[in-house]
Amino acid sequence: IVEDAGLKITELATHLQGQLVAVHPAYDTMFDGFAPDPVKNNPKARQMWAVEQVKAAASVSSHWGIDVMASFSGALLWHTVYPWPQRPAG
């Protein structure tokens, strides 16, 4: 389908999945919005899901001969560098 449209996949991205690999507990509720329903409200399950998603994307990239994968890494200190996800007013 992609090639039929004259396009080529050059990289896969796991921005949201990567963010969910490590979430500061104070922001669990806000990050749950990026997780599928079966792992919401369960930080350990959410993290395990995210790790598997990133690993799967790396595997698919390799299988497709893609050597670039964009991602944002999750980190417990991200909130000290950049206020994301956006905080509710108040």
The tens digit of pLDDT for each residue in 39-86 reads 999 999 999 999 999 999 999 999 999 999 999 988 888 888 888 887
For residues 86 and 37, give the distance between their C-alpha atoms in angstroms, rounded to a whole number.
21
Q: What pLDDT does 71 receive?
A: 94
For residues 7 and 4, give the distance between their C-alpha atoms in angstroms, rounded to a whole number.
7
pTM: 0.86
Q: What pLDDT does 23 receive?
A: 94
